[in-house]
Amino acid sequence: MARGSAVAWAALGPLLWGCALGLQGGMLYPQESPSRECKKLDGLWSFRADFSDNRRRGFEEQWYRRPLWESGPTVDMPVPSSFNDISQDWRLRHFVGWVWYEREVILPERWTQDLRTRVVLRIGSAHSYAIVWVNGVDTLEHEGGYLPFEADISNLVQVQLTAQTSLGPVSDFYTLPVGIRTVAVTKSQFLINGKPFYFHGVNKHEDADIRGKGFDWPLLVKDFNLLRWLGANAFRTSHYPYAEEVLQMCDRYGIVVIDECPGVGLALPQFFNNVSLHHHMQVMEEVVRRDKNHPAVVMWSVANEPASHLESAGYYLKMVIAHTKALDPSRPVTFVSNSNYAADKGAPYVDVICLNSYYSWYHDYGHLELIQLQLATQFENWYKKYQKPIIQSEYGAETIAGFHQDPPLMFTEEYQKSLLEQYHLGLDQKRRKYVVGELIWNFADFMTEQSPTRVLGNKKGIFTRQRQPKSAAFLLRERYWKIANETRYPHSVAKSQCLENSPFT
């Protein structure tokens, strides 16, 4: 065996999602095939955070040319995971700054000595700015979290060679599961394979105790079993693209996906500039390139709650949407709005209107009796102006499991359930007309930064962070199975809620 290189990391942000070394390769998900070998680098890495006041690029000069442990103490850090909840060091809980991941890798001898071998280092995700060193060489940089990036490192690991000769094209082949379907939009319907489709599902975050946003197979399978239990047929990758394994499961189980890029926080005029626009387009290219072959993905979302009432936002969103359509003319494009219908400058350019509204929560809180009127007014105003199908892309209420009060008060399970019931009455008035979907916020509670408005994170989940149901989950299950059975058996009595009636089939 030939001794491999020490792979040194520096990343800004909390997440190292996973990485692998492979032969041949490309941006597609790494997998073994007759022409590929893969070496996953999941497991324990050496880790250090820079808590100094002088956090800037350039400090790495003292570290990357020798093992990390030689320059100071390190701790073990599992990959994939977020580092926030792993340690008992309170400083890491909300740390934003430079952190280091380092791993020494032993490579097969053939990888390091055979000129016909191409060795690719692929990182599943590092949030949100990453620099990668291999054998002390600055090899790769990437800006933007949640998406993969890679580099050919053959000349760095084939250390016994003085130069690498040109060998011409190298055969590389692999297999992918294939799904064939069409997607189309009329002024009042969303069509999959020519048939009207109604989104009844959830918004999700990749988040769980201890691991944070790090990918976890047991958690993923549990979540899909809960989606089956709910009768959900769709979700939105709210605020960022999810791990490729998630989309593979959606393909496998027939869950429909609105795939959203990390375009969140565009709330101020200065954000809508040419530098941001260029990067936004680049990120959409990465999202489309990675996810375009997944039949589960039926629509791209380019942003969440931008300040779309601004004139500069109108041009910005127009350009991003047009760029995305050019990248993939086969799918509709949207963004998620919380602006006023009369002032929204981006809505003319989308194919489907996606609306976030939190009536009786952030507005007129406590007044559940207003929801139906407010929701009807919202839908009628948006549809009259734009004549496009509408999805209620977020709605919900913060709920602490085990809190009860009657009459319902905010933060209790009864209040969340009552709020959902009022929304559902309003949705039912429009869903056979031009409303084509409803996505609850949120599937499960998730951790956030500390603030006076959050009690150990966002509690709008219908499941707890540990995936236990609140009262609202049973209400939503009854509704989603009813809608699923109406769709499957439009001229017969609704079937019983059993696994044979799975919305996945």
* Start-to-end Cα distance in the chain: 48
Pairing of strands 195-196, 353-356: unpaired
Tell me how crowded residue 299 is: count the other CB atoms within 10 A of its CB: 24
∠ CA 415-420-424, nearest 5°, is 150
- Eight-state DSSP code of residue 5: -
Which three-class secondary structure state does DSSP give residue 285?
helix
Strand partners, 421: none
Determine the Cα–Cα distance for residues 377 and 81; give it in Å rounded to an integer. Answer: 43
Which three-class secondary structure state does DSSP give residue 317?
helix
Tell me how crowded residue 289 is: count the other CB atoms within 10 A of its CB: 16
Residue among 387, 203, 212 at smallest CA distance from 301: 203
Peptide bond into 128 cis (omega under 30): yes
Angle at which helices 217-230 and 471-488 pack, to 10 degrees? 60
Determine the Cα–Cα distance for residues 179 and 198; give it in Å rounded to an integer. Answer: 20
Strand partners, 297: 257
3 state SS for 215-265: CCHHHHHHHHHHHHHHCCCEEECCCCCCCHHHHHHHHHHCCEEEEECCCEC
CA-based diameter of the chain, in Å? 78
CA distances from 148 to 29, 78, 289, 386 (A): 9, 18, 10, 36
**Phi/psi of residue 374, each to 5°?**
-65, -40
Asked about 305 being catalytic, the answer comes back as yes
CA distances from 259 to 40, 228, 455 (A): 26, 20, 29
Residues 215/17, Cβ–Cβ less than 8 Å: yes
Considering 286, 305, 413, 438, which one is annotated as catalytic?
Answer: 305
Tokens of 450: 């500390």
Determine the Cα–Cα distance for residues 474 and 484; give it in Å rounded to an integer. Answer: 15
Tell me how crowded residue 269 is: count the other CB atoms within 10 A of its CB: 12
The letter for the amino acid at 78 is P
∠ CA 217-220-226, nearest 5°, is 145
Residues labelled as active-site residues = 305
